[in-house]
Amino acid sequence: MSAKAKPALLWLQSITCNGNSHSFLNHPDLFSILSHFELVYHPILETGQTIEKMLAGTLPCDVLVLEGSFRQKGLRKNGVEVLEVALQYAHKAEHIITAGTCATFGGIFKQKAPDAISGFCFDEAEQTPRYRQYADKLISLPGCPIHPKWLGYVLMMIADGRQIPLDEMHRPQELYGITVHTGCSRNEYFEWKVDTKGFGLKEGCLFYEQGCQGPYTRGSCNRILWNDISSKTIAGTPCLGCTEPDFPRTTLFETKTRMGIPETMPLGVPRRAYLTATGIAKSFKIKRFEERIITYDR
């Protein structure tokens, strides 16, 4: 890439639902971000290149965006194994972005054939044999789907030539250093251990009964809002842990407990510390948290 040329951006789909592509199309600054790149191929946006040319593996590629999970053999497009194409571009690229949980860890579609399907560099939390070869250029952006602003941030950092601080799974720390719980509109209820009385209420925390995985799921959904306006937990839906290597878990709308104690603790919090704090917080009945916030004329 010459000093002046824009980096070539190539978006490649493997086993996917297209959800990441559509999520990114909802970025309000989409075309400003893309203006920093030469968009070489995209599954939805026109680029002047055909899929046949892309599959031939001959297009330029500085930034490779991967969407969907991978299998060694059996996913062919136009007679070509998609993994082979991905490897060709991965070899050329300076940055590889695994966009979404499927490309990063394997995701939902992995469950069809757990031994054959994985993410590009991770198989759930384990490194795949490909990891070593691509680790130095890998950026993981899990999420089902990817948050448009998260990808926008990474692309702009690349365009700006900045170093992105990454964690051990190559996730940007600025996005995944916190949990989905951070910034949740129900935080007060979590602090005082007041569970919601059921679905469809703005009051109460979803961690105790409704299966919310927010306190132990990495991601900034409640700091950088979805569609610039909301999030699952704000809308009363439990966080489903969609950025995590083991997504999806099972019985997603119920909190798994042992003798009433949540099976999974908030991220990094020792169980004894959690139970002590919980026992104390629960001992107080705080009137404000037992009441409706708004009483419409009933």
Among 116, 125, 269, 280, binds other proteins (CB under 8 A): 280
Give min distance, CB of 43 to other proteins, in A: 7
Tell me the window of 1-9, 159-167, 172-180, 234-242 that interacts with other proteins (CB under 8 A): 234-242
Nearer to other proteins, 5 or 201 (CB): 201
Q: Nearest 5°: CA angle at 13, between 8 and 19?
A: 110
Q: Does 152 bind other proteins (CB under 8 A)?
A: no
Distance of alpha carbon 218 from alpha carbon 106, whole angstroms: 17
Q: Per rule CB under 8 A, is residue 126 in the interface with other proteins? A: no
Tokens at residue 85, please? 């194409």
Beta bridge partners of 118: 70
Site for other proteins in 16-75 (CB under 8 A): 16-23, 25-28, 30-31, 43-46, 50-52, 74-75
The phi and psi torsions of 252 (rounded to 5 degrees) equal -75, -15
Region of 89-97, 104-112, 134-142, 158-166 interacting with other proteins (CB under 8 A)? 104-112
Closer residue to other proteins in complex, CB, 46/136: 46
Contact region with other proteins (CB under 8 A), list: 109-117, 127-135, 150-158, 169-177: 109-117
Between 76 and 91, whose beta carbon lies closer to other proteins?
A: 76
Q: Which is nearer to other proteins, 138 or 212 (CB)?
A: 212
Cα gap 78→74, rounded to integer Å: 12
Q: From the list 5, 116, 201, 269, which residue makes contact with other proteins (rule: CB under 8 A)? A: 201
Q: Does residue 132 bind other proteins (CB under 8 A)? A: no
Name residue 98's beta-bridge partners: 66, 140
Burial grade of 270 (CB within 10 A; 0-12, 13-18, 19 or more): exposed
CA distance 57 to 46: 18
Residue 190 found at the interface with other proteins (CB under 8 A): no
The closest alpha carbon to 248, from 114, 139, 138, belongs to: 114
202 binds other proteins (CB under 8 A): yes
Whether the Cβ atoms of residue 238 and residue 211 lie closer than 8 Å to each other: yes
Applying CB under 8 A, the span of 84-92, 129-137, 167-175, 242-250 interacting with other proteins comes to 242-250
Question: 172 vs 114, 165, 191, 255, 259, CA distance in Å?
Answer: 27, 6, 28, 28, 37
Return all residues near 112 (Cβ < 8 A) that are at least 6 apart.
none
Confirm if 140 and 171 have CB atoms less than 8 A apart: yes
Strand 76-77 and strand 80-81: pairing? antiparallel
Figure out which of the listed residues 35, 72, 111, 173 binds other proteins, where binding follows CB under 8 A: 111
Q: How far is the CB of 176 from other proteins (least distance, A)?
A: 17
User: Which stretch in 84-92, 150-158, 170-178, 237-245 sits in contact with other proteins by CB under 8 A?
Assistant: 237-245
